[in-house]
């Protein structure tokens, strides 16, 4: 029987494909204070700015490609049951070939009704003021902003509690509740943390078996993949 691997991926793995993060730039994301473009208050104050911001991010996404870190995780699927629980809103895991991906912070290539948040639409082009759902509600990015609940949190926890192996990659381990997910891993699971500047938080420190791989995702994940396959 195949063992279960849960991958908790963060912005670092996408950064290697050319998608900018905000944690390395004094909390500025593409020149904007993140609360202006990633919070309900920012949306209320200036929805046109928020829509334009994500329109630009969407265009950027269509110009970048998965890297060796993404493809290494796909290789693991030949030998393990792999679920990717990602904080990232891009589709690079899917484009690389990962089949089980859970986006706990939303998806850039979808829009969402402001009247019924359960209603989403595929979105490959710009969303503008005046673009509405069938009920007449303005469309917004399908993104879980700061201060909003994480709808898929319980589903992610359910995956973690069944994990034999947990791989944390490209995450600062500072954004909660995502940063606390690893604490739900079984006591006998093995935890690997791949990051060029690893920050071992309390949840990681509690892991009975923790291996820190101080490397970028594109370099560290292929090595870890080989290690895990060779150990079978």
Task: Specify which residues 190 forms β-bridges with.
Answer: 165, 209
Question: In 3-state terms, what secondary structure has residue 209?
Answer: strand
Which residue's entry shows tokens 């110009």?
A: 63
Show which residues are catalytic. 105
CA distances from 142 to 12, 50, 179, 213 (A): 21, 12, 21, 33
- HSE-CB at 83 with a 13 A cutoff on CA atoms is 19
Alpha-carbon span 208 to 206, nearest angstrom: 6
Nearest to 122 by CA among 100, 102, 139: 139
Question: What is the pairing mode between strands 32-33 and 28-29?
Answer: antiparallel
* Secondary structure letter of residue 19 according to DSSP: -
């Amino acid at each position: 029987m195949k063992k279960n691997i849960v991958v908790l991926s963060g912005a670092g793995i996408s950064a290697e494909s050319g998608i900018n993060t905000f944690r390395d730039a004094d909390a500025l994301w593409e020149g904007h204070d993140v609360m202006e473009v990633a919070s309900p208050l920012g949306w209320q104050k200036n929805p046109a700015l928020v829509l334009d911001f994500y329109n630009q991010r969407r265009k950027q996404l269509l110009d970048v490609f998965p890297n060796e870190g993404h493809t290494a995780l796909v290789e693991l699927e030949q030998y393990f049951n792999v679920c990717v629980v990602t904080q990232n809103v891009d589709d690079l895991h899917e484009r690389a070939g990962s089949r089980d991906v859970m986006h706990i912070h939303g998806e850039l290539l979808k829009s969402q009704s402001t009247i019924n948040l359960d209603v989403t639409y595929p979105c490959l082009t710009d969303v503008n003021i005046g673009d509405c759902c069938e009920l007449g509600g303005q469309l917004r990015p399908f993104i879980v902003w700061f201060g909003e609940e994480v709808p898929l949190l319980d589903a992610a926890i359910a995956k973690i509690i069944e994990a034999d192996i947990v791989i944390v990659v490209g995450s600062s381990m500072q954004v909660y509740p995502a940063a606390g997910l690893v604490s739900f891993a079984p006591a006998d699971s093995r935890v690997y943390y791949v990051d060029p500047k690893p920050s071992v938080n309390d949840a990681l420190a509690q892991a009975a078996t923790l291996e820190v791989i101080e490397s970028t995702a594109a370099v560290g994940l292929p090595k870890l993949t080989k290690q895990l396959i060779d150990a079978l």
